[in-house]
Amino acid sequence: MAGGLRLPRRKRWSGGMTISGDPTKAANIDLPSSRPLPSHHHSRNSFEKMAATMRAWQFKNARGGLEKNLFLPAAGTSKPHITDSQILVEVHSAALNPADYKFPEMGMVTKALIPIPAISTPGMDFCGKVAEKGSKVDSFRVGEMVFGSYIGTFGHGSLAEYIAVSKEMIAPMPDGMQVDDMAGVGCTGLTMYQSIKPYVKEGDKIFINGGSGGTGVFGIQIAKALGCHVTTSCSGANVELCKGLGADEVLDYKSVDVVTALKEKGQVFSLVVDNAGSPRDFYKVSHNFLVPTGTFVQVSGPAGFGGFLNVASNMLLPGFLGGGKRKYHMMMVKNNAENLAQLGKWMQEGKVRPILDSVFEFDDVPKAFEKLKTGRAKGKIVVHVKKE
């Protein structure tokens, strides 16, 4: 039982006494049904019910915006039950990602692609403590602090007091790091690592479209850790932030036309990572600044059905019909414990540092999503789940 609490136990009869006739009269014993159960019995049931539930933000649909449909069930919701190969993590802090609201808000398109429970809990990123582990898990210990991301499945996310994960979804939290900092690493860190590492070598030039958001701040630092020359875009207010993260050149999209500026450089980039999804024809003109063997990686795009159609066009429309003329990859991040561990190592070494935009308390999750959807967050938005 949680917390080491030992509740009183009712005494049980053992052998050694024989009672003849009516045993209830001979031994002056009341049957359990003849009088109310002791008060501690009711307390135990209440405690066990409370221990089996948790607080979790949920939604049934995202029509009109996910933040307007979130609710906290008054009676709580069931705590996850783990399998032999899973780990139950007590979430201390979680972090938001655009995908947390973009996928639910795509409505029928999402349901056609990804099964989502009728009542779902959003959230992918988290940092917390191992509360329980399955019998087949030998790589973590109960009480160990871990960080990671719940990727690939929707509906049982990290905006809850507990989350059940596989060992591929987490890595040990490095010594000396802070919970809030590690909570925001998972999805964005893995996304940028997997968007950049396979396509570059030391000395390559890359362009990151959108360098000051949650993914961009990781992308700049990961690219620099891999030895690349980095050009990125952001608003004028965030130019110094991007330069401070290591960007070699920063384009202020409010004062210059980014596509024109890139065309003027010629075909010099080995990789373009698009975190912004704007302009919509960005991929279709990328051959003007990507080397012939270069790759365009789409990380994010406009929300809704229009964004889906834009990605579909990029993937399917051939160059001779007006489509793009370079390799196109729609980023679908995958769970990878080794990648997480590498990110943790870089953070511990100071090569990658977390950038937090803001921190919200658990009861203010809808407000956190409102902030995320403005598109003006400088870094990660973190939510405190566990009350200290």
pLDDT of residue 314: 63
Domains and CATH numbers, the chain: 53-185+355-384 (3.90.180.10), 189-330 (3.40.50.720)
CA distance 37 to 296: 69
Closest CA to 61 of 129, 9, 126, 122: 122
pLDDT tens, residue by residue, 166-203: 999 999 999 999 999 999 999 999 999 999 999 999 99
φ, ψ for residue 129 (rounded to 5)? -115, 140
Q: Please report the pLDDT score of residue 179 as a whole number.
A: 98
What pLDDT, on the 0 to 100 scale, is given for residue 311? 63
Supply the pTM of this predicted model.
0.80
According to the model, what pLDDT value does residue 262 have? 97
- pLDDT for the residue 227: 98
Tens digit of each residue's pLDDT (9 = 90 or more) over 208-264: 999 998 899 999 999 999 999 999 999 999 999 999 999 999 999 999 999 999 999
According to the model, what pLDDT value does residue 75 have?
94
Ranges of residues in the chain with a pLDDT under 50 are 1-50
pLDDT score for 378: 84
At residue 346, the 3 state secondary structure works out as helix
Contact 187, 97 (CB under 8 A): yes
The phi, psi pair for 55, rounded to 5°, reads: -85, 135
State residue 343's pLDDT score.
98
pLDDT score, position 34: 42
- List of residues 6+ apart from 141 with CB closer than 8 A: 130, 133
**Residue 69 per-residue DSSP state:** T
Are the beta carbons of 324 and 274 closer than 8 angstroms? no
pLDDT for the residue numbered 20: 39
The reported pLDDT for the residue numbered 113 is 58
Q: Find the DSSP H helices in 229-375.
A: 239-244, 258-265, 305-316, 337-349, 365-373
Backbone φ and ψ for 167, nearest 5 degrees, come out as -65, -20
